[in-house]
Structure 1
Amino acid sequence: MDMPFWALWWVWGATALALAILEVLVPGFVFLGFAIGAAAVGLLLLAGAGLGLPPLLLIFAVLSLAAWLVMRRYFALPKGQVKTFDHDIND
């Protein structure tokens, strides 16, 4: 095998899957943006793009940041609203 591991599409896909599973364990849209970025890079490599490591990392970083900003915009509480709890689940 003469290709480096970071140039294989399934490595990026497995990383995306691992990050998505980690997001389930640590909620808050922390790792989901990274998972979306890794999945997009994996799909780009699957489509046949033969890029080196620096462009792949740049694409990963930009898409991860964009995904995180979109999720923050659509899933955040409305501005100025604070989540409060007035009762306990055990009551």
Structure 2
Amino acid sequence: MAVLLTTWWVWLAAALGLGILEMLVPGFIFLGFAIGAAVTGLALLGPLKLLSVPAILLLFAVISLIAWLILRRVFSLPKGNVKTFNHDINE
């Protein structure tokens, strides 16, 4: 398991899977994790390929949190506004 966590293509495959899952269950939850996995996978291609497993998992967690916070700020409704529907689309 530890060898898989240090392999770049596993992280990119996880990013792809999480991106597909985000398309099926929208809400910008899985997209933050997908961005974190993609950045972690790309980082393992470069100078960070010698990191330990806990450091890689910490990198993934921090990047995922930052991505989720940015997505929440960019795509959320303006503060104080609530989306309401007054009609049924089937009427």
TM-score range, shorter chain: over 0.9
| Cross-structure match for 1:16 | 15
| Cross-structure match for 1:76 | 76
Runs of 4+ in 1 over 2 A off after TM superposition: none
TM-score norm. by structure 1 comes to 0.93
**1:2-26 Cα distance to aligned partner (Å, 9 max, x none):** x811111000000000001111111
Number of aligned residue pairs: 89
1:52 partner letter: S
Q: List aligned pairs for 1:7-46, cutoff 5 A.
A: 7-46=6-45
> Percent identity between the aligned chains?
63
**1:18-41 Cα distance to aligned partner (Å, 9 max, x none):** 001111111101100000000000
Runs of at least 5 residues in structure 1 that lack an aligned partner in the other structure: none
What is the Cα-based RMSD across aligned positions, in Å? 1.2
Q: Write the distance in 2 (CA, Å) between the matches of 1:12 and 1:48.
A: 16
| Cross-structure match for 1:5 | 4
| Cross-structure match for 2:63 | 63
Cα deviation, residue 48, structure 1: 4.1
Cα deviation, residue 52, structure 1: 1.0
Runs of at least 5 residues in structure 2 that lack an aligned partner in the other structure: none
TM-score norm. by structure 2 comes to 0.93
Deviates more, 1:65-74 or 1:43-52: 43-52
